Chain A
Amino acid sequence: MAGALVSFRDVALGYDGTPILEGLTLDVRPGECLALLGPNGCGKSTILKAMAGIVPPIRGTVHRSIDGQPVRFGYVPQQETLDLVFPMTAAEVVELGTYGQLSPGRRAGGAERERALRCLEQVGAADLRGRLFHALSGGQKQRVLVARALAAEPDVLLLDEPLSGIDAPTAEAILTLLGRLNREQELTILLVTHHLGAVREVVREAIWVHAGKLLRGLASAMLAPEHVRTMIEEDFLS
């Protein structure tokens, strides 16, 4: 646990008091770039949400601290689950990401708007700033959501299926950006994905959610075609 940004200790996760995962123990350390893998419904997104504090653990403890301070998360949800009814522009959606650092009663101002624009530029989506978020394409929305997560100036970036529903060039651009953020800014990244081949070059380690347990190893081994085939077969049979 020492030096970890996020630590799970014997954690049970689930909904309405019914656990779907039990006995989870996991450390995420500064600068790591991890992929969280597994079949549909195995609890990958729940683990991500528990890290961010969105889903409370049923049992066990989740520690989130850096030098005694709370860890700041940049959270990118699954696009399909995000239902932004408010008619917000892309810039306003990104500005939401700055609100975490403003105390109650303090209003967002010019500094927050500027930071939102910088983050949009960082993901190559500055031209979308005035467009309505719900009118954007899947790939454009994904860029905006990554920008929103970056606007939180996070210690840990959590991405839930960031490559789903987007075209190959956009997926490549997002992965390149994530790789650069991890290398150059030492940003800690954990992403849930089914695109095993695409993330192979970006992540250093991978965690399989397999039969309710977390199996962690180097990406080169965990994402090797033989290992992937074994995991998929065992998951399918179980």
Chain B
Amino acid sequence: MSLLLEILSPDFLLRNALYGGLIIGFVAPLVGWYLVGRRMVFLGVALPQVSTAGVAGAFFWHALFHEHELHEGDFWLALMGSTVFTLIAILGLALWESRSRGRAEGRTGVLYAFAGALSLLLVASDRIAEIGILGLLKGEIIAIPTGELLVLAVGYAAILVALWLFKKDLLLVSADRDLALSFGKNVLAWDLVLYLIIGTTISLGVLLVGPLVMFGFLIVPPLIAGRVTTGIRRLPLAASVVGGLTAFVGFAVSYKLDWPMGPTDVALVCVVLALAAAAQTIPGLLRRA
């Protein structure tokens, strides 16, 4: 109880990290639900990696052409790199998919491998190490400045509004493209709206929590929700609640045990998924036995 009171205190030193984790925990599953529903889970792995490569690329570019060290402006530079890389990747994949009959998984896999390699190569550069951005690339959840938290809150609020306003159209083009076309909907335009939402969610989130946590909160809560409820109204809400609660509990556990917060969150949400799967499977096995 004392731990809870300490964490929830307005003077708590790491409150921004808690708020940031909660915002991502609640909002990312609402976006990830579309990735799961459209069988684009692998994109949920690849895009955070691309976003990370974008951050590394932006800093590498800065290190090459500027002598001074990065301080105040590093968040915006990182955000620009992350956003540009993510949007180019997602729009490129969408365009490729609309014109090609090849396997999308293969393209996404190559993108993941390339983005991962690029991130490591750029981070390995001496110039990058000098300006000390490794923490940002890992997604330092402990130290989130208030300004960055505000950017995340405003960005994710805009994403929530877009999801709420366009839910019907996004769902229609995601669930049954032929039906959407028969209604005269511009399927490509709505795909682009969805991809912009996904890209913005990932590029903002990766900056604060890193690619691993971003992927975890995009994909795993919708999978958990799919095991405990059904329906297009209840499922996204359940996923959001699961994401937010695990972000909170993960934070408390990591603070109490002095574990790194990102991996703690992801491990916890995976444990919850395993428990939900067991709760679904074991009663049936017992009945049969």
Residues of A within 8 A of B (CB): 16, 49, 52-54, 70, 73, 75, 77, 82, 84-89, 92, 96-97, 99-100, 102, 104-108, 132, 148, 152, 158
Contact = CB atoms under 8 A, between A and B. Distances in A.
The majority secondary structure among interface residues of chain B is: helix
Contacts of B39: 85
The majority secondary structure among interface residues of chain A is: loop
Given A85-B39, A87-B235, A75 B165 contact: no
Contact of B184 (A16, A70, A88): A70
8 contacts: A85-B175, A86-B37, A87-B230, A87-B231, A88-B231, A96-B172, A104-B166, A108-B168
Interface in B149-173: 164-169, 171-172
A84 B176 contact: yes
Contacts of B172: 96, 99
Interface of B: 36-39, 101, 164-169, 171-172, 174-176, 178-179, 181-185, 226, 230-233, 235
B168 A88 contact: no
Contacts of B226: 87
Given A85-B38, A100-B184, A49 B176 contact: no
Given A73-B182, A152-B183, A84 B175 contact: yes
Contact of B168 (A49, A53, A77, A102): A102
A88 B232 CA distance: 6
Contacts of B235: 87
Contacts of B176: 77, 82, 84, 96
A58 to B, nearest CB: 16
B178 A107 contact: no
Contacts of B38: 85
A31 B11 CA distance: 72
Nearest to A102: B168
